[in-house]
Amino acid sequence: MSGRLKPLIRRCIQCYTLNHRRLMLRFTLENGVPQLDQTTGRGYYVCANAACLERAQKGRRLEKQYRVSPEQAADFWSRLRARL
Ligand SMILES: [Zn+2]
- pTM, two decimals, is 0.86
Residue 2 has a pLDDT of 53
Please check whether residue 72 lies inside any domain of the structure.
yes
Tens-binned pLDDT, residue by residue, of the chain (84 aa): 456 666 789 999 999 999 999 999 999 999 889 999 898 899 999 999 999 999 999 999 999 999 999 999 999 999 999 999
Contact indicator for 84, 51 with CB cutoff of 8 Å: no
* Cα 4 to ligand 1 centroid, rounded to whole Å: 27
Q: Which residues pair with 26 in a beta bridge?
A: 45
* Cα 12 to ligand 1 centroid, rounded to whole Å: 5
Please check whether residue 2 lies inside any domain of the structure.
no
Residue 3 has a pLDDT of 60
* Cα 1 to ligand 1 centroid, rounded to whole Å: 33
Residue 5 has a pLDDT of 61
Helix axes 50-58, 70-81, angle to 10 degrees: 170
Please check whether residue 76 lies inside any domain of the structure.
yes
Please check whether residue 3 lies inside any domain of the structure.
no
Please check whether residue 1 lies inside any domain of the structure.
no
* Cα 2 to ligand 1 centroid, rounded to whole Å: 31
* Cα 53 to ligand 1 centroid, rounded to whole Å: 7
* Owning domain of residue 59: 9-81
